[in-house]
C-alpha cells in the first residue's frame, strides 16, 4: 500500500507556492459556469463559510483545476501521472475551533461522484489547532492507496464501520479510519469518533478541534479525471 507523505503544513495552512513544473495549472475547468475556479497550485477562496483549496502539494504532480458553485458544491479535474505518492488534496474546510469536551455535536453529510479509475481516497481530514493530531475518515478509496501506520482492528462509530490505523509521519500523530465498504453519500457523526480516540483509546487529550476538511487525496489520475462534491455540510455546536 502507498505510504503517505507528511503534509502537516501544506494541507492545513495556505503555504507559499512551490515549483512543481510546467504542467501545473494547464488543466481546464469544467464547461459549466462556476462561481469560482482556479488552476493555481494553492488557489483558494471562501464561499458560504467554507474555505476551498486546490492544494497541489505532492512531488511529481500534474495539472489540476478546482471549481465551485458554492462552498458545498464543488469539484476538481485532475491529471496526475501514474506514479506513487500523493499529489494533491483539494478540499473544502470548515473551521470549528472548539475544545473537544466543549463540543455538543459535530456532524457532516456528503454526496460525491468519483471516478472508477485512478488512485485516490475521498476523506475527511480533521486537525487540532496545534496540528499535533490528524484524524482521517476515508469514505471511499480506489487503486494503490493505503493509510499510514499499523492496523488497530475495526470499530463501529458515527454510523459507519471502520478499519482503524495508527501512525506518525514525523510531524504529527495520524489516526486513519477506513470505511469497510465504499460509500458515495451519507452522514457521519464525527464527535463519537473523536471521543473514542480520546476517552476509550487515550491516544490524545482534550485538544481544541480546529479544522474539518473534506476532499480527495489523489495519487494518480492520468488522462484527467473528475471528482465532484455534489453536496457537503459540516455542522458543530
Query: Does domain 8-236 sit in CATH 2.60.120.180?
Result: yes
Stretch 199-225: mean pLDDT: 98
Q: For residue 197, is pLDDT > 80?
A: yes
pLDDT digits (tens, 9 = 90+) for 130-144: 999 999 999 999 999
Q: Do you know the residue count of the chain?
A: 237
Q: Give residue 117's pLDDT.
A: 97
Q: Give residue 129's pLDDT.
A: 97
Count the Cβ atoms, other than its own, within 10 Å of residue 97.
Answer: 10
Cβ atoms of 143 and 120 within 8 Å: the answer is: yes
Q: Torsion angle of alpha carbons 113, 8, 106, 114, nearest 10°?
A: 0
Q: For residue 221, is pLDDT > 80?
A: yes
User: Domain locations in the chain?
Assistant: 8-236
* pLDDT, greater one: 70 or 13: 70
CA–CA separation, 58 and 9 (whole Å): 12
Count the Cβ atoms, other than its own, within 10 Å of residue 84.
Answer: 16
Q: Give residue 8's pLDDT.
A: 39
CA–CA separation, 74 and 213 (whole Å): 13
Which is it for strands 63-70 and 36-38: parallel, antiparallel or unpaired?
antiparallel
Count the Cβ atoms, other than its own, within 10 Å of residue 107.
Answer: 17
Which is it for strands 133-142 and 173-179: parallel, antiparallel or unpaired?
parallel
How far does Cα 197 stand from its chain's mean position? Answer: 19
pLDDT digits (tens, 9 = 90+) for 81-108: 999 999 999 999 999 999 999 999 999 9
Q: What is the number of helices (H) and of strands (E) in the chain?
A: 2, 15
Which is it for strands 173-179 and 63-70: parallel, antiparallel or unpaired?
unpaired
Q: How far apart are the first and last CA of the chain?
A: 37
Q: For residue 32, is pLDDT > 80?
A: no
Q: For residue 2, is pLDDT > 50?
A: no
Q: For residue 24, is pLDDT > 80?
A: no
Lowest-pLDDT range of 8-22, 40-54, 134-148: 8-22
Q: For residue 187, is pLDDT > 70?
A: yes
CA–CA separation, 175 and 177 (whole Å): 7
CA–CA separation, 83 and 88 (whole Å): 13
Q: For residue 176, is pLDDT > 50?
A: yes
Cβ atoms of 154 and 180 within 8 Å: the answer is: yes
Q: Give residue 4's pLDDT.
A: 40
Q: Give residue 181's pLDDT.
A: 98
Amino acid at each position: 500500500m502507498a505510504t503517505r507523505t507528511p503534509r502537516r503544513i501544506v494541507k492545513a495552512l495556505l503555504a507559499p507556492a512551490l515549483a512543481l513544473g510546467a504542467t501545473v495549472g494547464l488543466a481546464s475547468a469544467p464547461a459549466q459556469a462556476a462561481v469560482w475556479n482556479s488552476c493555481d497550485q494553492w488557489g483558494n477562496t471562501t464561499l458560504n463559510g467554507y474555505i476551498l483549496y486546490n492544494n497541489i502539494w505532492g512531488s511529481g504532480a500534474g495539472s489540476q483545476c478546482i471549481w465551485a458553485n458554492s462552498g458545498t458544491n464543488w469539484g476538481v479535474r485532475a491529471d496526475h501521472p501514474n506514479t506513487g505518492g500523493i499529489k494533491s488534496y483539494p478540499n473544502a474546510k470548515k473551521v470549528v475551533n472548539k475544545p473537544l469536551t466543549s463540543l455538543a455535536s459535530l456532524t457532516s453529510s456528503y454526496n460525491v461522484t468519483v471516478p472508477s479509475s485512478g488512485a485516490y481516497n475521498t476523506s475527511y481530514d480533521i486537525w487540532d489547532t496545534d496540528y499535533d493530531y490528524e484524524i482521517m475518515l476515508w469514505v471511499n478509496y480506489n487503486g494503490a492507496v493505503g493509510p499510514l501506520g499499523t492496523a488497530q482492528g475495526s470499530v463501529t462509530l458515527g454510523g459507519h464501520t471502520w478499519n482503524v490505523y495508527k501512525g506518525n509521519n514525523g510531524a504529527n500523530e495520524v489516526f486513519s479510519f477506513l470505511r469497510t465498504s465504499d460509500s458515495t453519500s451519507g452522514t457521519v457523526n464525527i464527535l463519537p469518533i473523536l471521543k473514542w480516540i480520546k476517552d476509550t483509546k487515550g491516544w490524545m487529550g482534550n485538544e481544541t478541534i480546529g479544522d474539518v476538511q473534506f476532499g480527495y487525496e489523489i495519487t494518480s489520475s492520468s488522462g484527467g479525471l473528475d471528482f465532484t462534491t455534489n453536496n457537503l455540510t459540516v455542522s458543530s455546536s
